[in-house]
Structure 1
Amino acid sequence: MKYFTFKPPPVLASFVRYYWALEHDVSAELPYVHRTMADGCAEMIFHYKGRFDEVIEDGTTELSFTSGVSGPSRRFRRFRIAEDFGIFGVYLYPFAIPALFGIPSREVSDQMPDIVNIFGNQGAELEEKIMLAADNVARVEIISGFLKACLVRQQPHEPAVFSVINRIINDNGLTNVPDLAAQSFLSTRQFERKFKAFSGFSPKLFTRIIRFHAALNAYGDNGRSLTEIAYDCGYYDQSHFIHEFKTFSGQHPKEYFSGKSESTGYRDV
C-alpha cells in the first residue's frame, strides 16, 4: 500500500487541509476492507482506479460512486474492493463546502453525493480529467485549478465562525465553545445557526467529533496507554472514551490501537 499527501497552493490553504492519494495492489489479500470514521471535515474523492462497494449494516453491498463529495459525518462506513485501486482525495475544512461551492455544509452532512449531482457538467469534466491524469502530481494541478476557479467565482468572505471552527480543530476539540461564541459577537441562537451552516453540525457535536479525531491521531504512539490517551484528549474517564470511540468508529479503541483494524492500514505505510 502507498499513501501520499500533498500541500495545497497558498491561495487555497484556508480551505484545503491537504490532498492525498492511496494506492494498493490487493491481489495477494482479497478483498481489501476499509472503514471510514466520523469526521468533522469534508472530502472530495476520486476513484481513478478500481471502485469500492459499500458494505451496508445488513451485510449487503452497494456500489460506491466513482467520484463525489463526502460531507462532514457523525457515522462510520465500511467499504470493500477485490481489485487494485487508486484514490485521490481533497481533505477540506468543513466551511469550504459553502465558501467554495455555495452549498450549506448541513446539506451534505452524513451524505456522499456524486460529483455530477454537485457540479453538473463541470463535475463530469473534472472527473474525466482526474481519471485521465498521468499521475497524482497532475491531479493536484487539475483540482487546484478547479478550486481556484471556485474561489474566484464565489469570492467568499470569512465570517467569525470560520475562526471558531479553525480554533476547535487546532485545539483538538478542547476549546470552550461558549467563550468563542461570545467573542464572535453573536447571540447563542445566531451563533449555533451559522455554525451549523458552515460546519454541518452543532458546536457540541462538532467538538465531540474533533476530539475523537485527536484520539485517532494518537495511533502509533506506543508510549501512552489508552487511559492516558483518553485523559489527554479531554475524556473524563475511560468508559466515556470507549463509548465515544465506539459511537464514531464502530470499534473498541483496543481494536483500533492494536494495529489489526480495518481503519489503520494506510497509517502503517
Structure 2
Amino acid sequence: MHKHRIPPKDLSHLVKRIYEVNIPGPSTFEENRIIPMGTGTISISLKGDSRVKSIDGIHHAPNYTLSGQYFPTFSFASDGPLLFYGIALKPTASYKLFDIYLADIQNDFIKLDEVIGEEADQLRNQLLQVDETEKRFDLLEDFLIQKLPVSPKYTHLDVIVDLIYQKQGILKVKDLCEHEDISRRYLEKKFSNHLGFTPGQFIRQVRFNFTCAQIAEGTESVKDILMKFGYYDRSHFMKQFKKYYGSNLSVLTGDKNNLFKLIFSRIMRTDSENSFHP
C-alpha cells in the first residue's frame, strides 16, 4: 500500500509531496526503478534493509538521507518488506531549509544526521512510535514547518522554477528570460550554481515527467498526450523514455503496478494542485 499527502499552504512553495512506500515482501531492482524527477528528496526508512543501485554501484541505504537529483535511473531492492517515508522537495528547498544547494548533492546523498544532527534520530524515533500513516505525515509536516525560514525570500529562480512547473515544461528558455526580464547567461548561471543543470535540461525533464504522469493516469490516449506536450511522434518521446526505463511503455500503461506508476510519476501531478509564487 502506498499513500501520499499534498503539503499544506505553508509548505507548498517548498514541498511537492509527502509519501509513504510500503512494500510487503521482497522486491527487485527491476520493480523499483525510478527516473529523475528534478528534485531533492528526504527519505526515512522505518522497516527493512534496502540496497540501492546507482552509477556508483550497489550499496545499503542508510536509515535517513537527503538526496539530490539523480540524472541516471536508480533503483532499490530488498530481501524482505520495506517501509519508508519520503518528502519530495522543490528544487530550491534544500538550500532554503538546510543551506545545501541541490547542485552539491547531484547524483549523491547526505545522511540526514550530517545535515540536522541528532534531530534525525529524534524524528525517526517519533515516526516509529506511532502506527498511523496520517500521524506520521503530521510529524513530517511539523518537522518541515519548524525549518521554514523566518523571512522567506523569493528570487528570480524561485519564480522561474514555479513557472516551469505551472506550464508543465511546455515553454522555452527565452520565455523564462522574458518573463523575469533577465539575460540567458544570468539564468544559466543561477541554474548551474543552485540546481546543477541548465534551464533547458530542467524544462525537458519537467515536460518528460508530466508526460509520464499523464500517461500513467490513463484518462487520455498516449497519442493525444504526446501531442499536447510537443512530442512530434511516439519515437521522439520513446527515445528519452528508453534512456531511463527501457523500451516498454507498459510500465505506465499496463495493469501491473510498480513504484514508478503508483508513486513517483504522481509526484509531478501534485504541482498542479500546489500554490505558486506570485
For residue 18 of structure 1, what is the aligned residue in structure 2?
17
For residue 238 of structure 1, what is the aligned residue in structure 2?
234
Describe the superposition over 1:100-131 as per-residue Cα deviations: whole angstroms up to 9, x where unpaired.
Answer: 11111211222222212222333333233333
For residue 80 of structure 1, what is the aligned residue in structure 2?
77
Q: Is 1:146 equivalent to 2:147 in the alignment? A: no
CA RMSD in angstroms comes to: 2.5
For residue 47 of structure 1, what is the aligned residue in structure 2?
45
Q: CA deviation at 1:179?
A: 1.9
For residue 3 of structure 1, what is the aligned residue in structure 2?
2
Q: Is 1:192 equivalent to 2:188 in the alignment? A: yes
Q: CA deviation at 1:148?
A: 1.7
Percent sequence identity is 21
SS of alignment partner, residue 20 of structure 2: strand
Q: CA deviation at 1:242?
A: 1.3
Q: CA deviation at 1:69?
A: 1.7
For residue 107 of structure 1, what is the aligned residue in structure 2?
104
Q: Is 1:134 equivalent to 2:131 in the alignment? A: yes
SS of alignment partner, residue 16 of structure 2: strand
Equivalent residues of 1:74, 1:209 under 8 A apart: no
Q: Distance in 1 between matches of 2:184 and 2:196?
A: 17
Q: Distance in 2 between matches of 1:223 and 1:137?
A: 32
Q: Which moved more, 1:98-107 or 1:216-225?
A: 216-225
Q: CA deviation at 1:239?
A: 2.6
Q: Which moved more, 1:63-72 or 1:215-224?
A: 215-224
Q: Distance in 1 between matches of 2:27 and 2:7?
A: 32
TM-score (norm 1): 0.85
Structure 1's 245 and 180: CA in aligned 2 closer, same or farther, altered over 3 A? same
Equivalent residues of 1:97, 1:103 under 8 A apart: yes
SS of alignment partner, residue 14 of structure 1: coil
Q: Distance in 2 between matches of 1:152 and 1:167?
A: 22
SS of alignment partner, residue 149 of structure 1: helix
SS of alignment partner, residue 109 of structure 2: coil
Equivalent residues of 1:100, 1:156 under 8 A apart: no
For residue 63 of structure 2, what is the aligned residue in structure 1?
66
Equivalent residues of 1:168, 1:174 under 8 A apart: yes
Aligned with 2:162 (options 155, 160, 166): 166
SS of alignment partner, residue 10 of structure 1: coil
Describe the superposition over 1:24-61 as per-residue Cα deviations: whole angstroms up to 9, x where unpaired.
Answer: 311xxx43431111111222111111121123579x73
Q: Which amino acid aligns with 1:17?
A: K
Q: Which amino acid aligns with 2:225?
A: I
**What is the number of residues matched between the two proteins?**
260
Equivalent residues of 1:6, 1:20 under 8 A apart: yes
Q: Which amino acid aligns with 1:15?
A: L
Q: CA deviation at 1:143?
A: 1.9
Q: CA deviation at 1:70?
A: 2.5
Aligned with 1:178 (options 155, 174, 178): 174
Equivalent residues of 2:172, 2:203 under 8 A apart: no
Equivalent residues of 1:88, 1:136 under 8 A apart: no
Q: Distance in 2 between matches of 1:222 and 1:157?
A: 38
Q: CA deviation at 1:4?
A: 1.1
